[in-house]
Chains A and B, each alone.
Chain A
Amino acid sequence: MTLFGYRIPMMASLLVWCVVWEIVGRLNLVFLLPPFSEVLAAAVDLVQTPSWQKATITTLRAFAMGMTLSIVIGVPLGILMGRVKIADDLLGMWVNIFSSAPLSAIVPVLMILFGFGEKTIVAAVFLFAIWIIVLDTRAGVRHISPSLIEMARSYGASRPALYTKIILWAALPEILAGIRLGLIRGVKGVVIGQLLVAIVGYGALFETFSRNFRMAEFWALTIILFAFALMIAELIERAEAKVEYYAGARQ
């Protein structure tokens, strides 16, 4: 971005909004919005409290478990759908429905199934994240050049070798893109799950803060969550950039 011929760094716009937030907060127009500096101070205090640390560990654990499940199941499912027409016909409809459905509505059903504990949160993360991983993996497998498959066959590749040495690698750029989008959806899943269950992790904290109008802490927690989601998306994006050099070279 340039302004009057000067290059403005990316973070500059963020800074502008922080200043706007600070001013609006100081004007005391809405009590929901404390000044940004107050929110920052609350964030520093918050991360030192045992309740936040405990909630973070609970949340991260559920998130990691849900994501692992959705990757371990989603990638093979996507490969299966990309390779086997009958699997695609059978599952395609459901994957498409779930990937665009308002999944928050299903979380209460999960609570009935899995109770008011971690299991429900893990299931929520899984349910939010898996579909885009399946769809992207399927698209990646579909786009593999047929001659690459023929090449493997003509040089005597066994079926396992065909999958582990060719298909998985050839579809890797799309698989990683799917995982990145899945992670962002998974963050949504963990927050919505915890909010609805309301007695676990960040959900419990959000409940406490908003019920007691502790807005500075409420916003601090929100910012921490946003930062976390952006950070993991950024990390995956870096991994993607590393494989991109060959994504562009594919025929």
Chain B
Amino acid sequence: MRAAALRNGPSPVPTPIDSIVEVRGISKTYGNVEALRGIDLDFPRGKLTSLLGPSGCGKTTLLKIIAGLIRADGGTVAINGKTVSAPGPERAFVFQDFALMPWATVLRNVAFGLELRGTSRAEREEIARRYIAEVGLAGFEDKYPHELSGGMRQRVGLARALSVDADVLLLDEPFSAVDEQNRRKFQEDLIRLRTNQNKTFIFVTHSIEEAVYISDRIVLLSPRPGRVSQIIEPEIDRSGDPEHIHRDKHYLDTVEEIWQGLKQYVE
């Protein structure tokens, strides 16, 4: 039995029944470097999809195009069937370097998305407190970012993204600046969060293990120019103890398989 269902080639993937984000023919060039070429992708609603690939494959660029932070040279991004070209309230972004306001408390940082939307102070702080507790930071509301560890800072970033109640959460290598122990804990929390919150996650990572561990779906990108080389749906049972996943045979096989596919791009 195969550990994962594999589909090969850049040929268009059959559209899943309900996709919330549709990417069509996205291309992007920086100077004379072609970062992305003709990307067609669908992101199923309520699932966690990872964009995985070696550095230089344009995965962060693609995520920022979906976020509306970078303008694509060609192609369209549609959220819930509507074409978008700028950031919108249905998407929330989690940054690799946290992007917290160092002069503001945890509470204000988490509530900042709502503050920008003009939500009243009492209401936004109540919502923020709820999500601060949700990510396990209750009691740290009045602390400043520099008083927190890297892992805790990223929890603030995650709580901020959750509190605006967006349908799609875009995470740009959220754990790369977090130490190993915290990363493991964070990944477990993310699996739990995804079950609790009915949200779609798009997750950029360069770690194969991380992608297989948390994803419903993995999009492998190949570099120069960035293209979709493979889509993998790891069939891993995440209902039990997350500790067991790391020893699961399907998990290990899938990691190995992806590594074999990516090896050619590593010098």
Contact = CB atoms under 8 A, between A and B. Distances in A.
A189 to B, nearest CB: 31
A161 B112 CA distance: 11
Contacts of A243: 103
Contacts, number: 67
A150 B96 CA distance: 12
Chain B CB count within 10 A is highest, among A156, A157, A158, for A156
B101 interface: yes
A134 interface: no
A156 B101 contact: no
Contacts of A154: 67-69, 87, 91-93
B88 interface: yes
A245 B93 CA distance: 26
B116 interface: yes
A209 interface: no
B144 A155 contact: no
B146 interface: yes
Nearest to A162: B116
Given A154-B91, A156-B88, A245 B146 contact: yes
A156 B87 contact: yes
Interface residues of B, number: 28
Interface in B79-109: 87-89, 91-93, 95-99, 101-103
B95 A155 contact: no
B95 A245 contact: no
B164 interface: yes
A39 B68 CA distance: 69
Chain B binding surface, main DSSP class? loop
A165, A245, A247, A249 — most chain B CB neighbours (10 Å): A249
Contacts of B67: 154
A250 B102 contact: yes
A156 B91 CA distance: 10
In this complex, the member of B68, B96, B103, B117 whose beta carbon has the largest number of chain A beta carbons within 10 angstroms is B103
A2 interface: no
Contacts of B96: 147
B101 A166 contact: yes
Interface of A: 145, 147-148, 150-158, 161, 165-166, 169-170, 172, 243, 245-251
Interface of B: 64, 67-69, 87-89, 91-93, 95-99, 101-103, 112-113, 115-117, 144-146, 160, 164
19 contacts: A145-B97, A147-B95, A148-B101, A150-B69, A150-B93, A151-B99, A152-B116, A154-B68, A154-B92, A155-B112, A155-B164, A156-B117, A157-B116, A165-B115, A170-B101, A246-B146, A248-B146, A249-B144, A249-B146
Given A154-B68, A169-B103, 14 more contacts: A147-B95, A148-B99, A148-B101, A150-B99, A151-B93, A151-B95, A154-B67, A156-B88, A156-B113, A156-B117, A169-B101, A170-B103, A246-B103, A249-B146
